């Protein structure tokens, strides 16, 4: 589980790094622009990571199925070799889909003012800029999305169907609660990611509402990766303990600092503090 979570964390880190820095620059600049090479790189990397996450979330669902439904055979089924192969297949599938979609998009002629009505370079927004027939691109986009969205989502639903049936056969309420608690984080991430991605990619770009498309892409491109660490870590007891210890240390550091500042202020402000030779504080700059 932690092996797959580390890959998901790397994906989310790269996912937001691809778009957020340029977005913040444009927010603070009157001239909101991006060079052609930067736009192409952003388009390819963003789509690669998003496609990889679709497959990786399905792999994580299968891992939960093996852990809960086949607990005695789990270490045999989910061997290190299989885990690496599944992760490699996820990355390879994502990069391949992104390469195909990027090549198809870049072959389009872009006429007139090249103004992208979005926060970053994305395939639907780029297709809408073309002055040529885009039916082939739209069909290719829907075909790729049909492979990467409904397919893995179906595997996730089947896995959780078996998981639910297995958990319901557990007699103790505590056992059922623990089993379900290991899956709720993953289900939350799946719901947030797939619902917005399906809305964005399983309909022709020409049918998109520009404002709705921007908000949806902002949600699955930035908000969902930002929420993923919180969703997973806040349900982890070890993280809870580390967070409490860190906050406790920060609290006592603040208390100690406040006591030292108060004591130092009294020593400077009181004429009796230094045996009668101390001076009163002359101004705030000496505090």
User: What distances in angstroms separate CA 238 from CA 12, 234, 243, one per listed residue?
Assistant: 22, 9, 9
Per-residue confidence band for 204, with pLDDT thresholds at 50, 70 and 90: low
The partner residues of 183 in beta bridges, in order of sequence, read none
Which pLDDT score is estimated for 265?
65
pLDDT in tens, 15-44: 888 888 888 888 887 777 888 888 888 889
CA 200 to chain centroid, in Å, comes to 17
Domains, the chain, in order of start with CATH, read 2-235 (1.20.1070.10), 243-286 (no CATH)
Distance CA 53, CA 91 (A): 8
* Percentage with pLDDT > 70 across the chain: 83
Distance CA 257, CA 277 (A): 26
Long-range pairs, 77-83, Cβ under 8 A, ≥24: 83/3, 83/4
pLDDT higher than 70, residue 270:
no
Residue with tokens 């002359």: 282
* Position with higher pLDDT, 205 vs 46: 46
Helix, strand, or coil here: 130? strand
Distance CA 285, CA 278 (A): 17
CA 105 to chain centroid, in Å, comes to 25
Beta carbons of 10 and 45 less than 8 angstroms apart:
no
Dihedrals phi, psi of 131, to nearest 5 degrees:
-100, 10
pLDDT higher than 70, residue 269:
no
Dihedrals phi, psi of 110, to nearest 5 degrees:
-110, 115
pLDDT in tens, 70-125: 888 998 999 999 999 999 999 999 999 899 888 888 888 877 667 777 778 888 87
Inter-axis angle of helices 80-106 and 2-28, nearest 10: 30
Q: What would the two tokens of residue 131 be?
A: 């002055």
pLDDT higher than 90, residue 197:
no
Which pLDDT score is estimated for 158?
92
Distance CA 204, CA 136 (A): 11
Which pLDDT score is estimated for 62?
92
Per-residue confidence band for 177, with pLDDT thresholds at 50, 70 and 90: confident
**What is the average per-residue pLDDT within 216-245?**
73
Which pLDDT score is estimated for 95?
93
* Position with higher pLDDT, 28 vs 286: 28
User: What distances in angstroms separate CA 233 from CA 64, 92, 230, one per listed residue?
Assistant: 17, 28, 5
Per-residue confidence band for 246, with pLDDT thresholds at 50, 70 and 90: confident
Dihedral, 75, 78, 84, 86 alpha carbons, nearest 10: 180
* Percentage with pLDDT > 90 across the chain: 12
């Amino acid at each position: 589980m932690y092996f797959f979570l580390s890959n998901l964390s790397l994906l989310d880190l790269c996912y937001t790094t691809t778009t957020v820095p340029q977005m913040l620059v444009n927010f603070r600049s009157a001239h909101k622009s991006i060079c052609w090479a930067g736009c192409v790189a952003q388009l390819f990397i963003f789509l690669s990571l998003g496609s990889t996450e679709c497959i990786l979330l399905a792999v994580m669902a299968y891992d939960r199925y093996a852990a809960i439904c086949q607990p005695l055979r789990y270490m045999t089924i989910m061997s290190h070799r299989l885990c690496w192969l599944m992760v490699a297949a996820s990355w390879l599938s994502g990069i391949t889909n992104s390469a195909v979609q990027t090549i198809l998009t870049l072959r389009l002629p872009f006429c007139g003012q090249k103004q992208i009505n979005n926060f970053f370079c994305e395939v639907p927004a780029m297709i809408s800029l073309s002055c040529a027939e885009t039916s082939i691109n739209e069909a290719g986009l829907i075909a790729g999305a049909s492979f990467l969205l409904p397919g893995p989502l179906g595997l996730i639903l089947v896995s959780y169907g078996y998981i639910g049936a297995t958990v319901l056969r557990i007699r103790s309420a505590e056992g059922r609660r623990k089993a379900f608690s290991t899956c709720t984080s993953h289900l939350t991430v799946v719901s947030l990611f797939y619902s917005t991605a399906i809305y964005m990619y399983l309909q022709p770009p020409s049918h998109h509402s520009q404002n709705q498309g921007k908000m949806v892409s902002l949600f699955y491109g930035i908000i969902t990766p930002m929420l993923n660490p919180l969703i997973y870590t806040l349900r982890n007891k070890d993280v809870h303990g580390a967070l409490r210890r860190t906050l406790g240390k920060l609290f006592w550091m603040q208390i100690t600092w406040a006591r030292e500042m108060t004591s130092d202020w009294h020593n400077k402000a009181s004429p009796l503090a230094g045996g009668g030779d101390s001076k009163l504080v002359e101004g705030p700059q000496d505090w």
